[in-house]
Structure 1
Amino acid sequence: MPDYLATVRDADGRETTVNVEADTADEAVRMLREQGFEEVVLHTDDVMSRYSNQRKVAADFSPRDWVQLRSLPPGLGLFLIVAANSYRKLAFWMILLALVVGFSVFRGGPLNWLDWSCLGVLAFPAVFALGIALFSRGVPYRAMMDALHWGRWEEAISQADAMGSKVPAETIGFEKARALAALGRLDEARDLVKPFDDERVMPRWLYLSRLANLFDIINRHDDAIALFEQALELAPDNAVIMLGLANRLILHRRDHRRARQLVAEARTHALSDETAPMADLLDGLILLEEGAPRDALPVVEAAYRVYRRRRHRFLGYVSLGQAAVSLARVHSALGDRDLAVKLYAKVRPRMVAVGSSLVARYDREIGLL
């Protein structure tokens, strides 16, 4: 069953971060409120809850640790939390060893072999944490995702093949399939992910939404939208699917009416602090398409600031890229071409690298042509 992380506050104002098993985000929030919590901030959505796996490492990483990991650069965050937990568990011995070394320093004499041994033991948890941070599965995964998002398809495939069992097979499979599709090997890509079309591996709505990414990467956006429509039929209360579909409709069909309906419906369900900024960004894009850039500006700016703070996370810079382009489009519509071009220039190279069909349109809209 999926694990949902949430920060909650009880009637006495005490705040804690918890992990709750539930079938959906809506159910997770309802269960927590039934337990008497008055404020619930969800940290995982209906997709990420299937892969957070915090319960598997609960002895070393509390729910609070897991959430804090997201607020720090990946390597630094993992190092700090592993080191802190190690020192906390060994606090008595660490204090004792520190006192031994401190006594020698206080005497003013040279450190002896015992002092240096104590220092070595004191340093070991930090060295151990550094090794965990440097050789965690997140390092090669980030390298693979970086290659994907800069259009280095062969490199992404090589990185995926080297991942082995460090990451769930379906996660690697779909990322490798995207690279294959981009290289013109769509049939091979679809064959690669076909085994994951199994309810024992993932719900069909999730399979279809991931399959849509294969068509997005080759600019067959109508096919991607059709797959999201099918996913929504299977999971009509799933806010992640609603927002994913709304995003594609507003970007590729400029269908602000349907997009507005979908975002409004998504907001009636539980949104995590990861998905809520996307709903805000879509609200801004809808206002832009409706011819109200001045109203769109504060909405898009707020979403942009959120993504700026989260740029170090997995895929965070991709969301930041969309937010930056959206903000550039708003400023262009308001007549501030210099700022629009400055924002767009930060993102355009990556869009060109992956062959995005939106480049030509945005070039005209922002005034590069």
Structure 2
Amino acid sequence: MDEFLVTATDQNGKTTTRMVTAENSQAVIALLEAEGCTEIILHTDDAGAVSTDVKQDDLEGVSAEDMVAFREKSAFGMFLYLLNKGYYKTRVVSFLSTIYVAYRLHHNSPHGFWFYAAVMTLVLPIVVAFYLAFLSVSRKYEMLIENWAWGRWDDVLELEPTLRGKIPDLELDARTAVALANTGRYDEGLETITAYENDSSTPRWMYLARLSEFYYCAGEIDNALAASQQAYEEAPDNPTVEFDYALLLLKLQTRLAEASRLMESVESKRLSDMLKMFLPFARGLSALNDGNYSNARENLLEAREQLQPFAAQPLIRQILDFNSAYLAIASANCGEPIEAVKHYQRAKKRLEAFGDELLLKRLETVMEKYTAVGAFQS
């Protein structure tokens, strides 16, 4: 059983955000509908529920509503949000403490116990907000993901021990395995991820999905595709697995009819709010593969618009840069060289750093048509 973050309106018309424990995302929907809830919004998909939850101790004092709000905030934005909330919750005590401290300072009175207690009351929300925003396990995990998304593999391996036991082992080992493979330790990386093949606590579809990710990042495209297909076959009704498989087919420009069928199936299901935001990205890739460059550009721009508010998340920033690569291809084929070069320059640095040679080659091939006249020189 996993925990899913969800917002729903109950029979009394009250809308709340809470954690719901269920076997999968579709079970969450069924459970809430059985309670008479409407306007159900999933904030966690199946993959996220299994792999990225942080231990509850790190989230003490943080509500479900806060967790939804954090998705759009940088570390500093999170600090300001928590600071404002902290002072709001203690507003009466803080107001009285401020008056008391000001009075004692104005009259130059001795600083006794109550003075320092009042000062601590005023300082405590700052300390708590600072810790949660900059020093918590969640922030350290975000640093690891930032390094992973930029291909800073040595930094990933350096951070990994500090997070061991604080986030799920599969998530940490999947990131570590990719880092090992890209630092000349492929066998060690493969052994790290395949250790979960017979792990009863890990859904087999999740193991195969992370194995596919490992193979793709290691440049073994055929193995990546095979593992992704096996993950889908293990959980054909799981929209996250189905979408990931369809997206990989679209990226590889192969079995496009199957990819189209999978996407139709995904869009017929109840999806998390984040997964819905990725649909225009997939539609853009599909149109690009069909040679419908204008439609591809339109969908990719929509994807950027929907994902941009969440750019505080490292993996969303990575996706936005990948999206820019496809936008460059679409714009170039639409006869928009100025726009294409803008997207190209934004994407190239990320692709080179992360080592996505497949997409980089596709991008550079399109740009070669224009380099003779200097339209795409960076």
The normalised TM-score by structure 2 is 0.87
1:151 CA drift (Å) = 2.7
User: Stretches of 4+ moved more than 6 A in 1?
Assistant: 54-58
User: Which amino acid in 2 is paired with 1:228?
Assistant: S
Q: Which 10-residue stretch deviates more, 195-204 or 108-117?
A: 108-117
Counterpart in 1 of 2:258? 258
1:295 CA drift (Å) = 2.3
1:199 CA drift (Å) = 4.3
Alpha carbons of structure 1 residues 363 and 59: separation in structure 2 relative to 1, 3 Å: closer
d(CA) in 2 for partners of 1:222, 1:184: 20
1:98 CA drift (Å) = 2.5
Contact 1:7 1:18 in 2 (8 A): yes
Q: Say yes or no: does 1:39 pair with 2:67.
A: no
Q: Say yes or no: does 1:66 pair with 2:48.
A: no
Deviation sequence 1:12-62 (CA, Å, 0-9, x none)? 654221221111111111221222222111100001123436876776122
User: Which amino acid in 1 is paired with 2:111?
Assistant: W
Counterpart in 2 of 1:18? 18
d(CA) in 2 for partners of 1:113, 1:54: 40
Counterpart in 1 of 2:152? 152
Alpha carbons of structure 1 residues 344 and 111: separation in structure 2 relative to 1, 3 Å: farther
The normalised TM-score by structure 1 is 0.89
Deviation sequence 1:57-93 (CA, Å, 0-9, x none)? 776122111111112114531x345545654564553
d(CA) in 2 for partners of 1:17, 1:58: 15
How many residue pairs get aligned? The number is: 366
Deviation sequence 1:218-249 (CA, Å, 0-9, x none)? 22112111001111111011111111111111
Q: Which 10-residue stretch deviates more, 115-124 or 164-173?
A: 115-124
Alpha carbons of structure 1 residues 83 and 200: separation in structure 2 relative to 1, 3 Å: farther
d(CA) in 2 for partners of 1:355, 1:55: 34
Counterpart in 2 of 1:363? 364
Secondary structure of residue in 1 paired with 2:342: helix
Alpha carbons of structure 1 residues 195 and 254: separation in structure 2 relative to 1, 3 Å: closer
Deviation sequence 1:155-188 (CA, Å, 0-9, x none)? 3222223433232222221111101112343221
Counterpart in 2 of 1:52? 53
Counterpart in 1 of 2:161? 161
1:2 CA drift (Å) = 1.0
Alpha carbons of structure 1 residues 13 and 314: separation in structure 2 relative to 1, 3 Å: farther
d(CA) in 2 for partners of 1:272, 1:169: 24
1:154 CA drift (Å) = 2.5
1:110 CA drift (Å) = 4.9
Contact 1:74 1:313 in 2 (8 A): no
Secondary structure of residue in 1 paired with 2:53: coil
d(CA) in 2 for partners of 1:147, 1:103: 49
1:264 CA drift (Å) = 1.0
1:210-225 matched pairs, under 5 angstroms: 210-225=210-225
User: Which amino acid in 2 is paired with 1:65?
Assistant: D
User: Which amino acid in 2 is paired with 1:64?
Assistant: E
Counterpart in 2 of 1:289? 289
User: Which amino acid in 1 is paired with 2:209?
Assistant: S
d(CA) in 2 for partners of 1:153, 1:59: 31
1:54-133 matched pairs, under 5 angstroms: 60-77=61-78, 79-80=79-80, 82-83=82-83, 86-87=86-87, 90-101=90-101, 103=103, 109-110=107-108, 113=111, 117=116, 118-133=118-133
d(CA) in 1 for partners of 2:160, 2:352: 23
d(CA) in 1 for partners of 2:138, 2:148: 15
1:355 CA drift (Å) = 2.6
Secondary structure of residue in 2 paired with 1:47: helix
Deviation sequence 1:262-290 (CA, Å, 0-9, x none)? 11111122211111122221012112222
Secondary structure of residue in 2 paired with 1:274: helix
Deviation sequence 1:306-353 (CA, Å, 0-9, x none)? 222211114111111122222222212211011111112112112112
d(CA) in 2 for partners of 1:81, 1:3: 24
d(CA) in 2 for partners of 1:30, 1:232: 22
Contact 1:144 1:155 in 2 (8 A): yes
Contact 1:160 1:172 in 2 (8 A): yes
Q: Which 10-residue stretch deviates more, 239-248 or 354-363?
A: 354-363
d(CA) in 1 for partners of 2:318, 2:345: 15
Segments of structure 2 that go 5 or more residues without pairing to the other structure are 372-378
Counterpart in 1 of 2:374? none
Counterpart in 1 of 2:375? none
The alignment-based identity, stated in percent, is 25
d(CA) in 1 for partners of 2:138, 2:291: 42
d(CA) in 2 for partners of 1:54, 1:303: 31
Secondary structure of residue in 2 paired with 1:41: strand
